[in-house]
A and B are shown apart, each in its own frame.
Chain A
């Protein structure tokens, strides 16, 4: 059985393996031992912190196979995007060209650097074993974060965003980067993404274009990348889109990948998950598949479970499930249909 839980320092070696496997552009996961260690410690402190209002906390989760103790994936929630330093995006808006005398009016799309998304809660760092892509496990890895938010609302903002990895080819080349970012950063795409995961992001502010970029002036290959998703990012996108997230006019400034946005109240898992209490028992009569979490903080756990569940009734869980969720009879739990 796979269980989602907060990361611990002992996960470091396995996490480094995940970092190496993860896709370029999943910038929050640096392939660097020291940085990863800091990231883990930062996460542990965040779970332990008594939070009144969302701040710089980062909640880092791992997906662990309880039999083999192997980590199969990871995901994160940054409580506040752009806390301390701005969170940059490109906003794609129309610049209207109009002349009454010439009877001409048309819109020209332009990309402008902005901090509009600063202050929202950010989902990031989603990475899962290739073998588990498009299985209930990847739903668990992504959506258990939403269940965590549902259980700890004061720790998060009113709206949640996530940046989906944009298109790059098999050699790691991003046509969008090559047409735009490269001119200003003088770096290959992969190097820029690596720096983003590693360094302070202030270099972004130093190097990014401050004036609008008029989309028709970009080559076709780059225009095609605006809002285009890397094939490996498609599942992360699909899961959240089903949750009620929407694309809007914001894209990633490196690769042009889309940014998804949703208000908490419109997120299916948050709005529709139900509270209940755990009851050990038999799950032989399971009629549906659910995500189940324990609503804890430091001991947060979430699993996929086949249950015979009726709203308002105690949730009957097998002994194995109870152990995985670290719950006993009467413990509060949260349930949502897969």
Chain B
């Protein structure tokens, strides 16, 4: 398996993937035109033809038979072209010392504080490929890419995780809040959002802070709660150092998790090593390895052994990376130390 930039020839496979993902996957709508547009845009991004504000690094996960089985993305920056909105869950204290009254009321503050940060998004892995290291490779490849090309990204990476919704895709948070200002159901708004109208929709939202005690109990209960489907993604990113600091999506209240780029485990622990072809023994840990290229980026996960400044990998791994012995790679163990200990 390798992760590489998307190409226009991937379009049919991508369309099939997105159809499997279903309507909840709003950032990659199952429309051929829109997908083609996004793929072309990604190609221009990898060719360094677009500004950071517009950069969209769309990757695919490809097996050794050149079949595309997964997709993930990383943007240059959010909010530099049109405003990027989140709520921050803050606090209002209503207190009267004389009367002995003290109430703490979580309050939602609309903000654009994530402006200029880079977003990881649009991750989907084909159902039959959800095993082994595939999910982790598809997700962490973006982080390793950002480690190599840190100058192309913001100070932080963020991820908006899908919020709680019922089986029909209805969001209790939306029903209690957004619906009143848009007069449309969540799926419609979500659809518009995926079409790039999110900031237009956000402009309809009230600017003033909102007391959560005035939301329905169901809505209050899902603030900052990720959809169960996003649990695996959340787990991977949490292990990388992503945390939830109270920012949420303005539509479904899903958590926005964030991490300073330089503090992300994959970024912090990755190192430039020289590639050596050999035979890593059976006990060798799996490493995430990047060929350090931008337009011809290839990232894989493979057993490897570090000796000094060298990384010993087998011949197939080098071939997947399209590298020769002696080439430089950026690499990091796929699992953090705790995970390695747990796996051992």
Contacts and interface: CB of A to CB of B under 8 A. Distances in A.
Main DSSP-derived SS at the B contact region: mixed
B101 A216 contact: no
Contact of A108 (B95, B101, B206): B206
Nearest to A191: B99
B177 interface: yes
Contact of A106 (B183, B203, B208, B215): B183
Given A104-B183, A104-B204, A185 B101 contact: yes
Contact of A203 (B92, B98, B197, B200): B98
Contacts of B176: 217
B180 to A, nearest CB: 4
Interface in A200-249: 203, 206-207, 209-214, 216-218
Interface in B201-255: 201, 203-206, 208-211, 213-215
A99 B203 contact: yes
A214 B206 contact: yes
B192 interface: yes
Contact of A98 (B98, B204, B208): B204
A216 B101 CA distance: 28
Contacts of A203: 96, 98-99, 101
Nearest to B214: A217
B211 A97 contact: no
A185 B103 CA distance: 8
B94 A97 contact: no
A206 B182 contact: no
B200 A183 contact: no
A207 B94 contact: yes
A48 B180 CA distance: 54
Contacts of A214: 180-181, 206, 210, 214
A32 interface: no
A11 B213 CA distance: 45
A98 B200 CA distance: 9
A217 B215 contact: yes
B175 to A, nearest CB: 11
A211 B98 CA distance: 23
Interface string B182-203: 1100000000100001001101
Contact of A212 (B92, B201, B208): B208
Contacts of B200: 99, 101-102
A324 to B, nearest CB: 45
Interface in A172-205: 179-180, 183-187, 195, 199, 203
Given A98-B204, A206-B94, A195 B180 contact: no
B98 A217 contact: no
Contacts of A102: 192, 197, 200-201, 204
B42 to A, nearest CB: 25
Contacts of A159: none
Contacts of B96: 203, 206-207
A102 B196 CA distance: 12
B85 to A, nearest CB: 13
Main DSSP-derived SS at the A contact region: mixed
A110 B182 contact: no
B107 interface: yes
Contact of A209 (B99, B177, B204, B211): B211
B105 interface: yes
A212 B101 CA distance: 22
A213 B177 CA distance: 12
A104 B98 CA distance: 47
Nearest to A219: B216
Contacts of B101: 185-187, 203, 207
B98 A99 contact: no
A245 B157 CA distance: 59
Given A206-B94, A206-B95, A211-B107, A218 B214 contact: yes
B214 A97 contact: no
B302 to A, nearest CB: 47
Contact of A216 (B180, B203, B204): B180
A203 B98 CA distance: 8
Contacts of A180: 214
Nearest to A106: B183
B206 A213 contact: no
Interface in A55-106: 95, 97-99, 101-102, 104, 106
Nearest to B179: A216
A71 B60 CA distance: 87
Contacts of B192: 102
B54 to A, nearest CB: 19
Given A108-B181, A207-B95, A211-B210, A183 B203 contact: no
B81 to A, nearest CB: 14
A332 B167 CA distance: 79
Contacts of B210: 211, 214, 217
Given A203-B98, A206-B94, A217-B176, A99 B201 contact: yes
Nearest to A101: B200
A104 B182 contact: yes
27 contacts: A97-B182, A97-B205, A99-B201, A99-B204, A101-B197, A101-B200, A102-B192, A102-B201, A102-B204, A104-B182, A104-B204, A106-B183, A110-B206, A180-B214, A183-B214, A184-B103, A199-B98, A203-B98, A203-B101, A207-B95, A207-B101, A209-B92, A213-B211, A214-B181, A216-B180, A217-B180, A217-B215
Interface of A: 95, 97-99, 101-102, 104, 106, 108, 110, 179-180, 183-187, 195, 199, 203, 206-207, 209-214, 216-218
The 7 closest A-B pairs by CB, nearest first: A216-B180, A183-B213, A97-B204, A101-B200, A203-B96, A184-B94, A206-B96
Interface of B: 92, 94-96, 98-99, 101-103, 105, 107, 176-177, 180-183, 192, 197, 200-201, 203-206, 208-211, 213-215
Given A183-B103, A184-B103, A211-B208, 16 more contacts: A102-B201, A106-B183, A108-B206, A180-B214, A183-B213, A186-B102, A199-B99, A203-B99, A206-B94, A209-B92, A210-B92, A211-B92, A212-B208, A213-B211, A214-B214, A217-B210
